[in-house]
């Protein structure tokens, strides 16, 4: 299995560059529609402490759905696997778009934690006396998993997200009506909008992926940030549901667990080896970074790291 080198990292970025024109930034959140689609950054961090980066790997972007990974990790820590997956959210891919409402009426429990309905249900399960407390706890954990204590809200994205978040409101109120969400819906929604609007870099999400790859331990500090069993659950869900209705194709083309966000980020995790973070804001029709997928595909072939 060829090892990662700086040359491979740069070649992957050069290969991905052609794909920035193959999509466009998310249009449904006004803040995102303004982002420069030519940006492209890549960061790779290995479990044995090596770091590689190329391009716009330190340019901040909104984490969007990649935050669902952190929310899930925190809810698992707070409530445990049995509580979360028996009553709140499922473990199955849907094949539907990430913000789809259609199955909620027939199945009540959202199919998985990475579609919007599932993530909102997961936020509902995070402990905290108020939305503000939930978000404080989530942000503190987020910073530790990303290895950066400066990560914070992008206020402009948050306002934009909140102003245009009616589909997410519909999902949350539906969950409330069927008692899948029991707290204050407006507060849980606010936590959801805020967590999606956190500003991160490709390096930050590579670190998050690295902790997952390293079975929950931050290799830099040796600290166990999440239980090994929880890291395994999250990696499995990333593989089956992390790229929404593009998860099957991604598994065939790329072949390792990854989670995307409509901000253009993708975090991918290779157990015992490395975390990969890529950022390219132009999205394909399913809301996944077009250039990001191309970069991941290149890496997967160059290092022969497909699981299948
Ligand atoms: N904030 C976005 C939304 O709720 C997150 C979706 C995504 O990244 N796929 O629509």
Chain segment 137-181, per-residue pLDDT in tens: 999 999 999 999 999 999 999 999 999 999 999 999 999 999 999
Annotation says 254 is catalytic: no
- Ligand 1 proximity of 193 Cβ (cutoff 6 Å): no
Alpha helices (runs of H) in the chain, residue ranges in sequence order: 6-17, 30-33, 67-83, 104-107, 116-125, 131-146, 155-163, 166-177, 185-196, 202-213, 228-241, 247-253, 290-303
65 carries an active-site annotation? yes
Phi/psi-derived region of residue 108, left when phi > 0, alpha when psi is between -120 and 50, beta in every other case: left
Q: Does 308 map to a domain?
A: no
Distance 65 CA to ligand 1 centre (A): 5
CA of 220 to the centre of ligand 1 (A): 30
Q: Are 253 and 297 in contact (CB under 8 A)?
A: yes
Same domain, 56 and 163: no
Rounded Cα gap, residues 91 and 240, in angstroms: 9
pLDDT band at residue 265 under the 50/70/90 scheme: very high
Q: Judge if the beta carbon of residue 262 lies within 6 A of ligand 1.
A: yes
Q: Is residue 214 included in any domain, yes or no?
A: yes
135, 169, 196 — which closes off a domain? Answer: 196
Does some domain include residue 1?
no
Are 80 and 184 within one domain?
A: yes
CB atoms within 10 A of CB 167: 13
**Do 156 and 35 touch, CB atoms closer than 8 A?**
no
Residue 70 domain boundaries: 65-196
Query: What is the position in ligand 1's atom list of the atom closest to the CA of 287?
Result: 9
* pLDDT the model gives residue 308: 76
Q: Is 22 designated active site?
A: no
* Residue after which a domain boundary falls, among 181, 196, 211: 196
Instruction: Note whether 106 and 82 are same-domain residues.
Output: yes
- Is 99 a pocket residue for ligand 1 (Cβ < 6 Å)? yes
Residue 261 lies in a domain: yes
Q: Is the pTM of this model over 0.75?
A: yes
Strand ordering across the sheet containing 198-200 = 61-62, 198-200, 152-153
For ligand 1, is residue 168 a contact (CB within 6 Å)? yes
Percent of the chain with pLDDT over 70: 100
pLDDT for residue 67 is more than 80:
yes
55 closest CA partner among 13, 97, 21: 13
Task: Report the C-alpha gap between 251 and 308 in whole angstroms.
Answer: 8
Per the annotation, the verdict on 141 as an active-site residue is no
Provide the sign of the torsion angle of the four alpha carbons 164, 165, 169, 171, taken in this order: positive
d(CA 44, CA 295): 12
């Amino acid at each position: 299995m060829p090892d990662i080198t700086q040359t491979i990292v740069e070649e992957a970025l050069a290969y991905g560059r052609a794909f920035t024109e193959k999509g466009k930034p998310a249009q449904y959140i006004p803040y995102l529609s303004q982002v420069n689609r030519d940006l492209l950054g890549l960061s790779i961090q290995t479990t044995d402490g090596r770091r590689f980066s190329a391009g716009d790997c330190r340019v901040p972007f909104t984490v969007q759905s990649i935050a669902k990974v952190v929310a899930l990790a925190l809810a698992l820590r707070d409530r445990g696997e049995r509580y979360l997956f028996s009553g709140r959210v499922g473990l199955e891919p849907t094949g539907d778009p990430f913000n789809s409402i259609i199955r909620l009426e027939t199945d009540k429990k959202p199919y998985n934690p990475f579609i919007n309905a599932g993530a909102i249900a997961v936020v509902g399960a995070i402990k905290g006396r108020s939305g503000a407390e939930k978000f404080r706890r989530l942000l503190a954990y987020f910073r530790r998993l990303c290895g950066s204590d400066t990560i914070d809200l992008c206020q402009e994205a948050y306002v934009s997200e909140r102003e245009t978040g009616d589909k997410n409101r519909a999902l949350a109120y539906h969950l409330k009506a069927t008692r899948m969400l029991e707290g204050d819906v407006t507060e849980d929604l606010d936590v959801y909008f805020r967590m999606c609007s956190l500003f991160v870099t490709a390096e930050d999400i590579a670190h998050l992926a690295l902790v997952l790859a390293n079975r929950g331990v931050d290799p830099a500090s040796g600290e166990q940030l999440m239980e090994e069993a929880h890291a395994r659950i999250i990696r499995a869900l990333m593989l089956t549901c992390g790229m929404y209705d593009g998860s099957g194709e991604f598994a065939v083309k790329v072949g390792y667990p990854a989670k995307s966000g409509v901000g253009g980020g993708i975090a991918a995790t290779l157990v015992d080896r490395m975390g990969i973070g890529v950022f390219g804001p132009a999205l394909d029709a399913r809301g996944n970074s077009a250039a990001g997928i191309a970069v991941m595909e290149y890496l997967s072939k160059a290092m022969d790291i497909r699981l299948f």
